């Protein structure tokens, strides 16, 4: 029944055909179970293990590598190779791909737990009326129409419509669903409002929320997926994981690279058609196969096999650094996504605020000697911890607050006229509440005021254990006063009273809404001497003025406290006793903002990131908070920047678009609105981070580009998020964004390094094929260079330090290419030099090396016909391993120098020297040690078809390798001057003019 909130109690009972005194019959239960289903959330259909494994290979470059591995194996068998030679190259490729797949499967298996943990918010049992009898049943057996009784501490088992109040009031904490900082009072009357949100359904008890005060009966109107919690479950099921900006760009680049590779491979094969019949190949077919093998080697050279592993490693390094900043990353790609975040949609309660109601102001009458003087005290401390101090209006700290008569009586009243519990949880290491948050705030205030008569009071309290300290002062007053009777809070009185006795003295303490308490007071307590004087009209007017200031301008939730001496022997309270009270003081409470949030807001604005505060609270309260944290500092007027969910939905389409571009505050929202907001912003090509901690935030967290949950939040929110803030600190997001930007910059650097190196390998093979000289590098040598020499330095580049101005730049655009036109030109120039230097080393050994054959160039070009001609040298010279070893070593060393080029995209090595990244220096040294090992250790040299080099050969290797640094320094100079790259930017610019809705396709 979807509109139960708008129907009367009688209408709802008639709809389900139930007698409120007897409940459903067994026959009705069976019928309703068949009609409406079970009260359980269905399990998500998970992809099978093998589907997850196959998904990891759904990448174009990976598929090309698999084909290359298989072709390499088949060709080895055709050539008659057996044993290690035939299996080495394909085995290494497949091992790398298997390792990458394993990482992907583990990540995806661990990621999707939110839907399972959502079930933890379903109640286990319920007190149900059936066949005229109450019984306790599993909550899963509830059906619509069941009559359920709830009381303090009960978790609501299903969505239910209130039908009978069994106490003066019923209050429910529904923050996990709506984000409201205070508990909500429920009532029996139907709702007449239109466009209602959860907060307006004041007669509905929502599944998963908790009763904090009172007792009532209600009828079940929604079970399972038809509850508010079920709606969140369905919303999360409909939300598919989004591809991150970096992954999207890497996929695009991979597709582009694959096309280029395919074209070059075909071109190399076609260029050599004339050589198919060369005698050295032993026939046309064998010649075709030989050059096909070269084309496959070219594909292996061009594809950066280590790129996925290095990207993953770099992101993992970033997550370790972020963990030290209290940002725990659950999804590796989200680290990079942070770097291009343009909008942060921040939940208010628990994210910008502490979600702990705290007394912040106290107002009392100081004296009336010359004229009424009202004193205001401010209270520090924003959590439930009994840690804080009290300051007077001049900002001076009170050493012994309990010596002030009014503050002493406020402490007594707060401790005695209270039904909540404050306790310390050693497992979580924090203080927790049981009961109303406003009552707990009064308990904490009593602890901060302390006890009278002890000069060493503050230090004495600090010596207690945290468990004892939680309610030491409250217990003191409860031990000294005996509670006799309690008059519970009612909606008509708007107050609560408790009758206490102490030393032949009976006192009634009262607390409640200021307008109710003040109107019942005839006297007032003075703070200067503890005397009681009549409450005059002028004093009352001054108190009401302060109350309106607290509640209006400062949006504090106010309670007034009073007391009255009662006749001895009284055993119960009547409502008539609550007159002729003595006013003690006014306490203003709020859910306080976190102290570090204001600076975090400023940092976000400096970095070009817009913050939208999203909350279920009312507009006035939220606007007051936003002013305190600086969210409105850049706005002269709130018009067009602050909307309730209803106001936003009523806007025409065009105005909605404009509102989204200017919005800074979104209030009175429910889960569907949060998800809608994320979708609308992403439709405008924004990269959205959503913060939150409640169950209500989970669908939006999952839908956002990056979901950021609070460490103290619900398990559902954490599991639906990409990142968890261990310290619940909004400021941590700023540090995480800076880290995300730095990681992206480093990612670009090592992609540039790996691709330019691979271009060099392609150029090497292509030039050798075009010139008709012998193969410069064997496939297994190419694989060695790609894996070991590329992988270690590329990973170390991930340790490059942040640029000093990383948070002063605007967020990069989501459609910005990883490789721009000018950058690709630099790839080509560096790659071309790497390839030509490698070929030059090979030719040098044959033509110019003193210990080499010193062949004429024409003989080198006609090597394949050597066996059919008379020569002055043996044909076996072309099988010598020295020239390919020189080429391979040139390739390794030139790539090490190229790694140093990538300490910064544009800064010179003179500005950012190699020792600024000792990890990179170490990786280069380790790579060279590994390379020397395969040259000089016999079994390895045979495996990789290499041989030891002489000092003269090493000298030439260094001469050919070092110029890559000079070339890149020249290119960096042009990059810094910026004018040199305009032509390339224009020539290489690609029209990323897709409709905005397509930019975020799944």
Residue 255, SS3 per DSSP: helix
Length of the chain: 1002
| Rounded CA separation 374/696 (Å) | 43
Q: Which residue, chain included where needed, has tokens 């009202």?
A: 374
| Rounded CA separation 844/836 (Å) | 12
Backbone angles phi, psi at 139, to 5 degrees: -60, -25
- Structure tokens given for 248: 């999207």
- Structure tokens given for 696: 């209500």
Q: What residues form DSSP beta bridges with 565?
A: 507
Beta strand pairing status for 358-367 and 343-347? unpaired
Helices 671-683 and 653-662 meet at what angle, rounded to 10? 90
User: Which among 24, 293, 294 has a CA at the least distance from the CA of 144?
Assistant: 24
Residue 73 is inside which H or E element, if any?
A: helix 60-78
Cα end-to-end distance, the chain, whole Å: 35
- Structure tokens given for 732: 């941590």
Catalytic residue among 347, 617, 697, 722: 347
- 581, 564 Cβ separation under 8 angstroms: yes
- 261, 299 Cβ separation under 8 angstroms: yes
Residue 470, SS3 per DSSP: coil
Backbone angles phi, psi at 23, to 5 degrees: 80, -170
Residue 583 is classified by DSSP as E
User: DSSP letters of 297-346?
Assistant: HHHHHHS-TTHHHHHHHHHHHHHHHHHHTTEEESSTHHHHHGGG--EEEE
- Structure tokens given for 918: 């000792």
User: DSSP letters of 140-175?
Assistant: GG--TT-EEEEETTPBP-SEEEEEEE-SS-EEEE-H
Beta strand pairing status for 495-501 and 482-487? antiparallel
| Rounded CA separation 426/812 (Å) | 44
Q: Counting beta carbons within 10 angstroms of the beta carbon of residue 943, is it exposed (0 to 12), middle (13 to 18) or buried (19 or more)?
A: middle
Q: What residues form DSSP beta bridges with 358?
A: 590
Backbone angles phi, psi at 805, to 5 degrees: -105, 25
Task: Tell me the C-alpha to C-alpha distance, in Å, between residue 235 and each of 367, 672, 700, 720, 1000.
Answer: 59, 8, 9, 12, 18
- 787, 305 Cβ separation under 8 angstroms: yes
Residue 221 is inside which H or E element, if any?
A: strand 215-222
Backbone angles phi, psi at 4, to 5 degrees: -60, -30
Q: Which residue, chain included where needed, has tokens 């509670």?
A: 483
Q: Does the active-site annotation cover 347?
A: yes
Active centre residues (catalytic) = 347
């Amino acid at each position: 029944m979807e509109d139960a909130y708008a129907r009367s109690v009688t209408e709802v009972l008639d709809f389900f055909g139930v007698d409120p005194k007897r409940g459903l019959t067994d026959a009705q239960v069976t019928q309703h179970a068949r009609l409406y289903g079970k009260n359980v959330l269905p399990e998500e259909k998970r992809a099978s293990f093998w589907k997850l494994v196959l998904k990891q290979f759904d990448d174009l470059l990976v598929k090309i590598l698999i084909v290359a591995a298989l072709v390499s194996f088949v060709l080895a068998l055709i050539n008659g190779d057996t044993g290690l030679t035939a299996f080495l190259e394909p085995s290494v490729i497949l091992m790398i791909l298997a390792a990458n797949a394993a990482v992907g499967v583990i990540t995806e298996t661990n990621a999707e737990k939110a839907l399972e943990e959502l079930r933890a918010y379903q109640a286990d049992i319920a007190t149900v009326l059936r066949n005229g009898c109450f019984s306790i049943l599993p909550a899963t057996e509830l059906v619509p129409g069941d009559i359920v009784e709830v009381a303090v501490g009960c978790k609501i088992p299903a969505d239910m419509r209130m039908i009978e109040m069994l106490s003066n009031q019923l209050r429910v904490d529904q923050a996990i669903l709506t984000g409201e900082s205070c508990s909500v009072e429920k009532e029996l009357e139907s709702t007449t409002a239109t466009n209602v949100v959860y907060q307006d359904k004041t007669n509905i008890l929502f599944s998963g929320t908790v009763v904090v005060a009172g007792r009532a009966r209600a009828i079940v109107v929604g079970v399972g997926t038809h509850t508010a919690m079920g709606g969140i479950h369905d919303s999360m099921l409909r939300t598919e994981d989004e591809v991150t900006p970096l992954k999207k760009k890497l996929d695009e680049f991979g597709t582009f690279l694959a096309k280029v590779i395919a074209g070059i491979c075909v071109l190399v094969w076609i260029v050599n058609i004339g050589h198919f019949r060369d005698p050295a190949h032993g026939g046309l077919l064998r010649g075709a196969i030989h050059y096909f093998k070269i084309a496959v080697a070219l594909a292996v050279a061009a594809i950066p096999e280590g790129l996925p592993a290095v990207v993953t490693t770099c992101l993992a390094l970033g997550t370790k650094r972020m963990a030290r900043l209290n940002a725990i990353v659950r999804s590796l790609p989200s680290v990079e996504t942070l770097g291009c975040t343009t909008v942060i949609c921040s939940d208010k309660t628990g994210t910008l605020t502490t979600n702990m109601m705290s007394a912040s102001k106290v107002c009392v009458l100081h004296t009336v000697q010359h004229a009424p003087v009202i004193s205001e005290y401010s209270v520090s401390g924003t959590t439930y911890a009994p840690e804080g101090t009290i300051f007077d209006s001049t900002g001076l700290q009170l050493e012994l607050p309990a010596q002030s008569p009014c503050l002493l009586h406020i402490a007594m009243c707060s401790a005695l006229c209270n039904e909540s519990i404050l306790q310390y949880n050693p497992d979580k290491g924090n203080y927790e509440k049981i009961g109303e948050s406003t009552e707990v705030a009064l308990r904490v205030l009593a602890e901060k005021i302390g006890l009278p008569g002890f000069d060493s009071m503050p230090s004495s309290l600090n010596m207690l254990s945290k468990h004892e300290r939680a309610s030491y002062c409250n217990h003191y007053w409860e031990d000294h006063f005996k509670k006799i009777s309690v008059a519970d809070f009612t909606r008509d009185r708007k107050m609560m009273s408790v009758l206490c006795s102490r030393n032949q003295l009976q006192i009634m303490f009262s607390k409640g809404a200021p307008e109710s308490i003040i109107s019942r007071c005839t006297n007032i307590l003075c703070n200067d001497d503890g005397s009681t004087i009549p409450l005059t009209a002028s004093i009352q007017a001054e108190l009401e003025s302060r109350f309106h200031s607290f509640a209006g301008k400062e949006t504090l939730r106010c309670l007034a406290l009073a007391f009255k001496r009662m006749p001895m022997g009284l055993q119960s309270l009547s409502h008539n006793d609550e007159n002729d009270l003595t006013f003690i003081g006014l306490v203003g409470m709020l859910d306080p903002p976190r102290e570090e949030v204001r600076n975090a807001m400023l940092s976000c604005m400096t970095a070009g990131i817009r913050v939208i505060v999203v909350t279920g609270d009312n507009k006035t309260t939220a606007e007051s908070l936003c002013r305190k944290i600086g969210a409105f500092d850049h706005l002269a007027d709130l018009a067009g920047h602050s909307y309730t969910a209803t106001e936003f939905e009523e806007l025409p389409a065009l105005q909605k678009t404009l509102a989204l571009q200017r919005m800074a505050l979104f209030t009175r929202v429910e889960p569907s609105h949060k998800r809608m907001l994320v979708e609308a912003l992403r439709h405008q090509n924004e990269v959205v981070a959503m913060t939150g901690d409640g169950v209500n935030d989970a669908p939006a967290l999952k839908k956002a580009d990056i979901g950021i949950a609070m460490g103290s939040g619900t398990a559902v929110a954490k599991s639906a998020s990409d990142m968890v803030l261990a310290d619940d600190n909004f400021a941590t997001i700023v540090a995480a964004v800076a880290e995300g930007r730095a990681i992206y910059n480093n990612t670009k650097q090592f992609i540039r390094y790996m691709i330019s190196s691979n271009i060099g390998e392609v150029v090497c093979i292509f030039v050798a094929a075009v010139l008709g000289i012998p193969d410069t590098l064997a496939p297994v040598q190419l694989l060695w260079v790609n894996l070991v020499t590329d992988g270690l330095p590329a990973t170390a580049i991930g340790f490059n330090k942040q640029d000093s101005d990383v948070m002063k730049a605007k967020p990069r655009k989501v459609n910005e290419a990883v490789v721009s036109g000018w950058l690709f030109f630099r790839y080509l120039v560096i790659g071309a030099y790497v390839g030509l230097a490698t070929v030059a080393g090979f030719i040098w050994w044959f033509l110019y090396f003193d210990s080499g054959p010193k062949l004429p160039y024409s003989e080198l070009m006609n090597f394949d016909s050597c066996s059919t001609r008379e020569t002055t040298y043996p044909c076996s010279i072309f099988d010598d391993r020295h020239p390919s070893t020189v080429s391979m070593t040139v390739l390794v060393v030139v790539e090490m120098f190229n790694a140093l080029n990538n300490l910064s995209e544009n800064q010179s090595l003179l500005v950012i020297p190699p020792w600024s990244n000792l990890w990179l220096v170490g990786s280069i040294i380790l790579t060279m040690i590994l390379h020397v090992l395969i040259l000089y250790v016999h079994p390895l040299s045979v495996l990789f078809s290499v041989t030891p080099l002489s000092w003269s050969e090493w000298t030439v290797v260094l001469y050919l390798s070092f110029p890559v640094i000079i070339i890149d320094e020249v290119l960096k100079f042009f990059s810094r001057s910026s004018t040199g790259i305009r032509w390339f930017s224009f020539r290489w610019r690609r029209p990323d003019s897709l409709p905005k809705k397509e930019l975020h396709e799944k």
